[in-house]
Amino acid sequence: MNDIANNGNVLSVPKGTPGIEPLHLDMTVLYEADRRMHEIRLVSKATCQELGGLFNQACNLAGKYLAYVKYELLKAEKNHNLNRATVILEKAPLEAMKLKAVGIKLNEDIREALIAKDAECDQSLEILNALKAVEALLTSSYWSYKAAYESADENASNRTNAPTPQVNGHVGQTFDVPQSNFMGKKQGGFNG
């Protein structure tokens, strides 16, 4: 799993079956949405549509990529289970005879050790783990973009173009919030 070509915007994801060319996901839109995530707090009615559109597009793309990765993940799980079955049904009995000759009985721990040592099981487990990591990344991104879209829309609808000060009626003061002075005593506004 790595970024290649396209200025590092393509994520190469292994396919569920070993030996097949990896899946290349163009992450440009997702990386752009990540880069602009901080703009949610500054969004206005004028910028809401463009920013919301970007987050919506990124959310849709993350969901689409998530479906691709989920399919490959299911294939990887199937492949890993087949590799485990091969070790358990074909390789472990042969090893059991060797172990019996030296006085070791085949048990669950020995069987799991044989599975862990098997090169094909190791490779299929590595692919499975990589796909789980990409699935976690895309799932997190999907929900972040969805929340960003909703927040941008909500922030824009709650915001006007001019700030609204909290005026208390005293000249030169825009708020009347009790504050502590340097000695820790509570005071009301600036006039205490």
Over the stretch 117-144, which tens digit does the pLDDT of each residue have? 999 999 999 999 999 999 999 999 999 9
pLDDT of 40 reads 86
pLDDT of 137 reads 96
pLDDT of 190 reads 46
Write down the pTM of the prediction: 0.73
Surface-to-core class of residue 83, CB atoms within 10 Å of its CB (0-12 exposed, 13-18 middle, 19+ buried): buried
| Mean pLDDT of the region 92-109 | 88
**DSSP-H helix ranges across 4-163:** 28-35, 45-86, 92-101, 108-117, 119-158
Tokens 């490959």 belong to: 72
Tokens describing residue 96: 């059991």
Amino acid making up residue 108: E
Helix axes 28-35, 45-86, angle to 10 degrees: 130
pLDDT band for position 158 (50/70/90)?
confident
Residue 3 has pLDDT above 50, yes or no: no
